[in-house]
Amino acid sequence: MDISVIVPLYNEAESLPELAAWIERVMKSNNYSYEIWFVNDGSTDGSWQVIESLREKNPCIKGVKFRRNYGKSPALYVGFERAEGDVVITMDADLQDSPDEIPELYRMITVEGYDLVSGWKKKRYDPLSKTIPTKLFNATARKVSGIKNLHDFNCGLKAYKREVVKSIEVYGDMHRYIPYLAKNAGYDKIGEKVVHHQARKYGKTKFGLDRFVNGYLDLITLWFFSRFGVKPMHFFGLLGSLMFVLGFIAVIFVGANKLYCLYNGLPYRLVTDSPYFYLALTAMVLGTQLFLAGFLGELVSRNSSERNNYQIEKELQ
């Protein structure tokens, strides 16, 4: 099979028939063998009934229905599990992503050899309250991830080699950082294509400004796990050791200062009267706790079933 199209959706009953017809038209005009996975993320409208009716007309249309709303990442994860196409393409169900982009995305994967191609909605039809935070978010994501050539991490229109989606785990709200997940899995040939952004035709957006706050928190989490996920002692142990040593040096300095004053007959005050003494003790206690956190993290990591899960590209025996 050439292409698997995965469409996560939540309350998009109005747009589904038009989207399905549009995808089918593009596939037939290019003679692609394909499947379309509509992943219904707990919709409360008639989305599932629409998917069932579309399936009756086109056997290439398939569907998954969640009992409740879980989010976009779980929907993509389920779609990735079921995808059988050589190239997997994801797009949103609100008709803001154009299926006409599919042939070029497919070509970039199969001919140019990209592992992943992300869409870039260079010209957007969104209010400034959305576009400005998006630019800041993407600039931060580029800096942290090291993927300098991507301008729109959160674009729903992406294309992947099949092996990429089978090698990564999308969870929580990590769908924003699939290129970063792919890079961490060893798939670093990541490209970008400017795609057409269409104004929403039906319904309303399902995302608020809180996604930017959550996005930054997820980015920090992903950065930490990519750097220290299997070696937490390198982070907590180092930080804890530095804090303990600094605190210990400060305690010695406070004590030495009092001894100097006593030896030279200078006025002095009790060590416990000095705020630096308590700051030093606090640093030593926090340093010890951080070191123990790293030690416990190492114990957890050592017993993890994923500790030796490496991405092997080729093997000769």
| Percent of the chain whose predicted confidence (pLDDT) is above 90 | 50
The domain locations on the chain are: 3-228, 233-302
Q: Averaged over 298-316, what is the pLDDT?
A: 63
pLDDT, residue 243, reads: 92
Pairing of strands 158-161, 116-120: antiparallel
Amino acid at 291: F
The CATH superfamily assigned to 3-228 is Spore Coat Polysaccharide Biosynthesis Protein SpsA; Chain A (3.90.550.10)
pLDDT of residue 171: 82
Identify whether the C-beta of residue 115 lies closer than 8 Å to the C-beta of residue 182. Answer: yes
Angle formed by the axes of helices 275-302 and 233-263, to 10°?
160
Please tell me which residue, 162 or 219, carries the higher pLDDT value.
Answer: 162
pLDDT of 112-148, one tens digit each?
A: 999 999 999 887 666 666 667 778 888 888 988 889 9
Beta bridge partners of 65: 40
Q: Where are the alpha helices (DSSP H) in the chain?
A: 16-29, 47-57, 72-82, 102-110, 128-145, 162-165, 178-184, 210-228, 233-263, 275-302
Task: For residue range 1-27, list pLDDT tens digits in order.
Answer: 999 999 999 999 999 999 999 999 999
Q: pLDDT tens, 52-61? A: 999 999 999 9
Read off the pLDDT of residues 160-191 as tens digits, 9 standing for 90 and up: 999 999 999 888 788 889 999 999 889 989 99
CB atoms near residue 238 (< 10 Å) = 14
